[in-house]
Amino acid sequence: MTLTTHMILVSAQPIPNLTPLLDDSLGVKKVIMLVSTDMQKRSIALEAILKPRGIKVERHTVEDPWDAAMISDQVLDILTDYPNRNIALNATGGTKLMSIAAYEAFRSDDFPVFYVHPEKDRLIWVTPRQAPVELANRLKIKDYLMAYGAESVTVPSVLGVPEPVRLLTQNLLTDIDRYAIELTTLNFLAYEAKDKPRLTVTIKESPAARARLWDLIELFECAGLCSINGQQLSFADEEARFIANGGWLELHTYALCLNLKKSLDIQDVAANITIHRKPGGKDEVKNEIDVALIKENRLHLMECKTKRYQQDKDADALYKLDSLRDLVGGLQGRAMLISFNELDKTARARAKELKIAVHCKSELRNLQQHLTHWLKSDR
């Protein structure tokens, strides 16, 4: 029998609530949400994801998530509307007491119950006993972030990275030692050009005095990102200025993820994502993600850093990435810091403590291999 209705216990970790509902093989048409007062906002976010997919949503407020008898009675009342037993309980979410109370109510009259393995993304039947279900990988980045409470998510509709830019970034990393200092200078010039007329700045050093810098700028010019008139450097547009201001590493990482999308079954990948949240109903907070992808219904965040920071700033970047992963990726979220500059031993040890993968400087020549290994070790 196809169980077209699921009951879920809305919690702060919404993905196990969501993935069975998006699996077409399960054929879910309706979801009943048990929602404690502190999870109302999360339930609204889930509803916004499910309704456009044609899944009906019915919400029931749990007044006291610590009153097992009341929760059990509430669930039993709902079950009276399903004499054909066409309903299953997803016991993964909610407080432990909510889960136990709902489970006991379902079990008392032999209604089916399942649990979603949080790491293996597998539906495991508790009752009746039957083979587990490997859940389909349907989640997209925007839905994932909205499920974790984002008020809005902007994902640029960029389909790929132009070939001239791909060649440029590959050349930069092939000769990373040659251009390391010059890229820092170009980064600064691009920053200075932000508010200048026609995005134009003056290069103070002549080609004779700074040959490698001019060689580097010529690479960007060949990629169609800038032009040189005497010692005046002009960027083609704001996107070109962004690329020279360090965005090239973000685009390189994004291009590599696109290369791996098919072979590694990546569900979705995007760059330059903007999230707006209102934590606790307070003032809006904006977060930016350089590159993100979803594989096995699990969010992977990548921070791409080209600026050279002091040691304490490296730690700040790691803590910021760790915090963002927890906020929008949940317990199964993963993070990687990709840095053009080297991190010292202290920062690398900190990254290891925080379970953040780190790849820096010369390691970037083989970044696709590092990404492949990271993503294959997903489970």
Average pLDDT of 173-193?
93
Can you say how many angstroms the Cα of residue 258 is from the centroid of all Cα atoms in its chain?
15
Q: What angle do CA 309, 314, 318 make, to 5 degrees?
A: 145
Share of the chain above pLDDT 70, in %: 97
Average pLDDT of 5-34?
95
Average pLDDT of 5-29?
95
pLDDT at position 245 is 95
**pLDDT of 3 strictly over 90:** no
Q: Residue ranges of the alpha helices (H) in the chain?
A: 15-22, 40-50, 68-79, 96-108, 141-147, 163-174, 176-192, 211-222, 238-242, 248-260, 311-329, 345-353, 367-376
Which residue type sits at 288? E
**pLDDT of 308 strictly over 80:** no
Per-residue confidence band for 307, with pLDDT thresholds at 50, 70 and 90: confident
Average pLDDT of 210-231?
96
Average pLDDT of 274-288?
85
Q: Is the backbone peptide bond immediately before 52 cis, with ω within 30 degrees of 0?
A: no
Average pLDDT of 95-120?
94
**Collapsed DSSP state (helix, strand, coil) of residue 316:** helix
| Burial class, 171, CB count within 10 angstroms (exposed 0-12 / middle 13-18 / buried 19+) | middle
Average pLDDT of 277-281?
77
pLDDT at position 123 is 96
Does the pTM surpass 0.85? The reply is yes
Closest CA to 351 of 341, 359, 362, 340: 359
Q: Is the backbone peptide bond immediately before 128 cis, with ω within 30 degrees of 0?
A: yes
Average pLDDT of 319-340?
94
Q: Which domains does the chain have, with CATH numbers?
A: 5-136 (3.40.50.10770), 163-243 (1.10.10.680), 248-376 (3.40.1350.10)
pLDDT at position 377 is 86
Query: How far is residue 69's CA from residue 102's CA, in Å, rounded to a whole number?
Result: 10
Give per-residue pLDDT as tens, 130-155.
999 999 998 999 999 999 989 999 99
pLDDT at position 156 is 86
Per-residue confidence band for 375, with pLDDT thresholds at 50, 70 and 90: very high
pLDDT at position 238 is 95
For residues 133 and 26, the answer to whether their CB atoms sit within 8 Å is yes
Per-residue confidence band for 2, with pLDDT thresholds at 50, 70 and 90: low
